[in-house]
Amino acid sequence: MKKELRIGMIGYQFMGKAHSHAYRDLPFYFDLEFQPVLKVISGRNDHAVKEAAERMGFEEYVTDWKKLIERTDIDIVDIVTPNHTHAEIAIAAAKAGKHIITEKPLALTLEEAKEMHEAVKENKVKHLICHNYRFAPAVLFAKKLIVEGRLGRLYHFRANYLQDFIMDPNFPLIWRLKKEISGSGALGDIGAHSIDLSRFLVGEIKEVVGMTETFIKERPSGEMAGGLKATADQSSLGEVTVDDAVAFISRFENGVLGTFEATRFAAGNKNKNKFEINGEKGSIRWDMEDMNRLDVYFRDDEAGLQGFRTINCTEEEHPYAGAFWPAGHIIGYEHTFINLFHAFLQGPDKEETAYPDFEDGVRNQAVLAAVEKSAETKQWIEIKV
């Protein structure tokens, strides 16, 4: 009988679905030393959390997260509630001796992120921040190529994270558009993913200079309605207090130059999280909207035959790809969470499957804070953790 790993989840919407699916699918694809069990799920709305528990397969549900954390039959607390709740819940869970998984960004502020990191270290619990895109096999393969020196010295990291789900002025003022709940807008919600990918693939960022913009300054009130959909109630208008778009450049500690863009106003782009890395020996580029493919260019290819070629990263040689289907049977967004949770729960077996933890979350939060400060002061800001 395998040891049970009992999950207590706080929150139940978009990320609650992605995480719950990953726990349930892990045993399908991996020979595990444990059995994930969806024990308890918590949400404020009794009817909604009851429905989510039944749909996603949790044994029980509660409407007070503190009751979940007090339980002795919970091993891992998984936080999928809005950003302003992460610190209080994670610190309480750490003090209760629970291992912690939380969505990104780690917190509302760098100070909160540091407190969370101190709490998990003091209470000796494992901790994960869900920068899931590291665990697309094509991204892990890019990491392998870089570690093996296939690009040589790196010169550029270039990332664009493009969405368009809030371009309609009637899209309501959801929690992601309120600073007191989200901390920032496109910067922390999707720019954080690009920052994590740059840290994972290139190294630490030394300094940044950036700018932000809020294109639509007022919106009708309303709430999320699953995924990235929302319903406006038009009863009142509210001020948008976060960025709709951000652009910043960076210098990495190793001398690489970085350019980053994150926007929710790039019409036609739905979740176009992409990067390109240029080195002395060649380049690689990846696009989440075509996530199984990695484009590579090597300068030592035979003259006349040089050019970007596309690798379909679904073969045994591509990290984690072999766990799913035969070559060419592509995988999707949900599999990045399965791989991420496998690395966290089973332990990473090599450098390229190092999972992102709260230290990564703190370093990421330091970059977010520096970009926001730069946008205010129009100055270069050094990253200080």
- Name the site residues for ligand SOE (rule: CB under 6 A): 14, 163, 189-190, 228, 271
Q: Taking the complex as a whole, how short is the minimal distance between the CB of residue 242 and ligand SOE, in angstroms?
A: 12
Judged by beta carbon, residue 20 or residue 278, the one nearer ligand SOE is 20
CA dist 166 and 188 (Å) reads 16
> In angstroms, how far is the first alpha carbon of the chain from the final one?
44
Nearer of residues 315 and 334 to ligand SOE, judged by Cβ: 334
CB of 288 to ligand SOE, least distance (A): 8
**Residue among 192, 181, 142, 137 at smallest CA distance from 316:** 137
Smallest distance from ligand SOE to CB 190, Å: 5
Other residues' Cβ atoms within 10 Å of the Cβ of residue 371: 30
Cα 381 from Cα 370, distance rounded (Å): 6
Q: Which residue is nearest to ligand SOE (CB)?
A: 189
Q: Smallest distance from the beta carbon of 185 to ligand SOE, in angstroms?
A: 9
Q: Which is nearer to ligand SOE, 278 or 364 (CB)?
A: 364
Closest CA to 101 of 80, 70, 87, 83: 80
C-beta of 123 vs 271, nearer to ligand SOE: 271
Quote the least distance from Cβ 122 to ligand SOE, whole Å: 28
Q: How far, in Å, CA of 295 to CA of 302, rounded?
A: 17
- Smallest gap from Cβ 192 to ligand SOE, in A, equals 8
| Residue whose CB is less far from ligand SOE, 189 or 352 | 189
User: Smallest distance from the beta carbon of 212 to ligand SOE, in angstroms?
Assistant: 16
Closer CB to ligand SOE, 196 or 352, in the complex: 196
Three-class SS string for the chain?
CCEEEEEEEECCCHHHHHHHHHHHHHHHHCCCCEEEEEEEEECCCHHHHHHHHHHHCCCEEECCHHHHHHCCCCCEEEECCCHHHHHHHHHHHHHCCCEEEECCCCCCCHHHHHHHHHHHHHCCCCEEECCHHHHCHHHHHHHHHHHCCCCCCEEEEEEEEECCCCCCCCCCCCHHHCHHHHCCCHHHHHHHHHHHHHHHHCCCEEEEEEEEECCCCEEEEEEECCCCCEEEEEEEEEECCCCCEEEEEEEECCCCEEEEEEECCCCCCCCEEEEEEEECCEEEEEEHHHCCEEEEEECCCCCCCCCCEEEECCCCCCCCHHHCCCCCCCCCHHHHHHHHHHHHHHCCCCHHHCCCCHHHHHHHHHHHHHHHHHHHHCCCEECCC
Our CB check for ligand SOE shows the closer of 190 and 362 to be 190
- Closer by beta carbon to ligand SOE, 217 or else 229: 229
| For ligand SOE, the closer CB: 69 or 288 | 288
CB of 271 to ligand SOE, least distance (A): 5
CB of 104 to ligand SOE, least distance (A): 6
**Shortest distance in whole angstroms from residue 39 CB to ligand SOE:** 25
**Cβ-based nearer residue to ligand SOE, 133 or 157:** 133
